[in-house]
Amino acid sequence: MPNVTSNGASIPALGFGTFRMDDREVAEVLPEALRLGFRHVDTAQIYGNETAVGTAIAASGIPRAEIFLTTKVWVDKFAPADFIPSVEESLRKLGTDHVDLLLLHWPGGSDIPREVQIDGLNKARAAGMTRHVGVSNYSSAQMREAAGISAAPLVTNQVEYHPWLDQGAVLATAADLGMSVTAYYAMADGRSATDPTLARIGARHGKTAAQVALRWQVQQPGVITLSKTAKVKRLPENLAIFDFQLSDDEMVAIHALARTDGRIVSPKELSPAWD
């Protein structure tokens, strides 16, 4: 699997996301995902499944160094007294002495100043709790602000991204800052699988519409995508996106699906003023 390099981090271009997966689903699906070849696993404190993720990784037999593991600090843990203890708790649950990437989960939902939040990330990195740091759900202006504050380079901004949501401003800012963009909701909550444009393009390549959506993302410079499924049978399909290439015209046609009302995730108390 190809890697995306950003500000010193080398991140597998396709990850396995665990959002909205309970412990049973993680225990059923993640071991098979690892067996098939996934080496990038994404979780978060608020998902409530860090223990299940850590158990699956430990039982896989795959050396920890071969797995790129991400977790995220929830907004109620941004205060200095809570930040590092929350990361320590995440590491205990995950059964590891460090993660590869630690993110601030949302820019809103906390009255802790941004510089204090970023300082927490830097302290976790300095203590060896994480190899790299980054943010999630940040606007392009917030990315620039955070990058200017952080002593350590920020390696990614994890955001919603799929064919119906134009993230051009965030992508341009990430490129300017040497960062990557990590896409979640890549399948647009199932919409990608049934879209006629994606299906027509997929038919030309012998691929499904969902595979085309994932390929469209990883084919863009600096973009990492998180695939997520609670069905073991879908895993091989999600992985099989590196043996074909979309044409320039096909990439343009997929970009043209973007809509002004295409955003799916925007909790009022947590979200920024989106680009």
How big is the CA angle at 223 (ends 117 and 261), to the nearest 5 degrees? 80
184 is catalytic: no
Catalytic residue among 47, 138, 184, 185: 47
Q: What are phi and psi of 181, to 5 degrees?
A: -115, 130
> How distant, in Å, are the alpha carbons of 18, 150, 197, 211, 219 from that of 203?
29, 46, 10, 11, 18
- In sequence order, the β-bridge partners of residue 226 are 15
- In sequence order, the β-bridge partners of residue 70 are 42, 101
Specify the 3-state DSSP secondary structure of 147: helix
User: DSSP class of residue 153?
Assistant: P
Specify the 3-state DSSP secondary structure of 154: strand
226: enclosing H helix or E strand: strand 223-227
Contacts (Cβ under 8 Å, ≥6 apart) of 57: 30, 34, 41, 64, 67, 69, 94, 95, 96
Pairing of the two strands 40-42 and 9-12: unpaired
User: Would you say 62 and 104 are in contact if contact means Cβ atoms under 8 Å apart?
Assistant: no
User: Would you say 212 and 205 are in contact if contact means Cβ atoms under 8 Å apart?
Assistant: yes
Q: What are the residue numbers of the active site?
A: 47
